[in-house]
Amino acid sequence: MLSKAVMASFPILLFALVLPAAAHEHHDELTEEQSNAPVDTILWMHIFLQAAVWGVLFPTGMVLGISRSRWHVPLQSAGFVLTAAGYVLGHAHRGRAFLAGAHGMMASILFAPIALQLLLGIYLKLHIHEETIRPWAVRMHGVWGRRIRSLAGRKWLFGAIAFRGYCRGDNLGQCLAHYIMGSGFIAYAVIMAILLLVGESWVRRSGRSPEWWDSWVIMLWGIVNTFTEHRGSGWSVKDMQHTILGVLWWAGGGLGIYLSRNNQRSFVPSLIIMLTGWAMSEHAQALMLSTKVHAAFGYTLMLAGITRIIEVSFIVPKYTPEPSTDGDSHSEHTLADDTAGQSTTAKGFRHLPPFLLVAAGLLFMSATDEELQFVNGEGMDHVTYILIMFSLAFILYTLIVSLINLYATSGRNAASATAEGGIEMTAGSKWYARVPDADMDVETHVIGDDE
């Protein structure tokens, strides 16, 4: 574990790296030469470094923090230093210039909570004011960690948008529609994967089937969409389609809530996903490439709904509530087979709906007019483009399930995972030691801490 003296040097290093970059010029207008200049090595280093830190390193550290692993502190400390270095690289490059936008603004916004999170982490490691200030600092540390992680995903997306110069002027509305809905499908997939791998005991104890929660989200989302999709006095075909989808969601969501009461499974959320996919696949598009990509998105979403209906109807028909006994040693924080009698093949099939939702989300996020016009101009066909998106979906879903598995087999969950046959570093390892039970609440606090 890093010494307190070394940890205390991180804020100094962070500020020393970042402050000289504050004078970097942000452009409101660009010449054709500036916008078409080649991308230099420094900018490529910035892109790959920040993608690795925010896409892999920080999420891994966040998970280790929630599981109270000792590896969290050194991992997140390294992440802070690397992201500061990436920030400097992003302001030190030459060559291609970019218009001022959300990516640069988000970088400046994120710097303050990152610095605060680091200072809070150092304060918590000092173990002072145990009965007064420290409990509140623990909670603030956890809240800030979760907020930073959610903002980081947006910054990553804004970086890709800024690189191509998309989503400006009249294109902003379409970008928001595609990115918000696509991100929503991916978030839905993450929740489904969490419930599948580590959350089934929680579902049983809650007395509510997953479809009950799904139906509430669908209904509320539908109410918002019903009153926000139409603008102006005239009704276009897309206005009518998007508005009626909102009506479909709140009407179907209400039925799903009713049918899912008393811990019952319901087909309604899956059917709504299928109908949404069919509607999206039938959208008229200006380019043939765009038509094909939207159709692939719709078919993928329909397949996600079909596989979910199969799961609900035949694989896990009902979550039997667990008895509440003081001697029950079962934990939802393991990858144990929580569904009695469920075969390995059946549990493997249950990965299909969340994976297909991830793929559908990426396809929809990559289907804006500007993106597809660029792809069409490069001479790429729809088959190649769609396969690229599915390849990214495989990578992203691998990262999702790996992080969930890491949570279930690290820190405070390591002992139970090892007892059930999981592969995990033992307490006697040279490189790893579990946080002692007595110190769990005060020893390790991280970005995304579950306090």
Amino acid in position 418: T
Along the 451 residues of the chain, how does pLDDT read in single tens digits? 444 444 444 454 554 445 444 445 555 555 555 556 677 788 888 888 888 888 888 888 888 888 888 888 888 888 888 888 887 887 776 766 666 666 667 766 777 777 777 788 788 878 788 888 888 888 887 777 767 766 666 767 777 777 777 787 777 878 888 888 898 899 999 999 998 888 888 888 888 888 998 999 999 989 988 887 766 677 887 778 888 999 999 999 999 999 998 888 899 999 999 999 999 888 777 788 999 999 999 999 999 999 999 998 888 766 666 555 444 444 444 344 444 445 667 778 889 999 999 999 999 999 988 899 989 999 999 999 999 999 999 999 999 999 999 999 888 888 666 555 443 333 344 444 444 444 444 344 444 443 3
Task: Map the chain to HEC letters.
Answer: CCCHHHHHHHHHHHHHHHHHHHHCCCECCCCHHHHCCCECHHHHHHHHHHHHHHHHHHHHHHHHHHCCCCCHHHHHHHHHHHHHHHHHHHHHCCECCCECCHHHHHHHHHHHHHHHHHHHHHHHHHCCCCCCCHHHHHHHHHHHHHHHHHHHHHHHHHHHHHHHCCCCHHHHHHHHHHHHHHHHHHHHHHHHHHHHHCCHHHHHHHCCCHHHHHHHHHHHHHHHHHHHCCCCCCCCHHHHHHHHHHHHHHHHHHHHHHHCHHHECCCHHHHHHHHHHHHHHCCCCCCHHHHHHHHHHHHHHHHHHHHHHHHHHHHCCECCCCCCCCCCCCCCCCCCCCCCCCCHHHHHHCCHHHHHHHHHHHHHHCCCHHHHHHHHHCCCCHHHHHHHHHHHHHHHHHHHHHHHHHHHCCHHHHHHHHHCCCCCCCCCCCCCCCCCHHHHHHHCCCCCCCC
CA-wise closest residue to 85 among 15, 27, 151, 24:
15
pTM of the model: 0.79
Ordered by start, the domain boundaries in the chain are: 1-165, 172-321+330-434
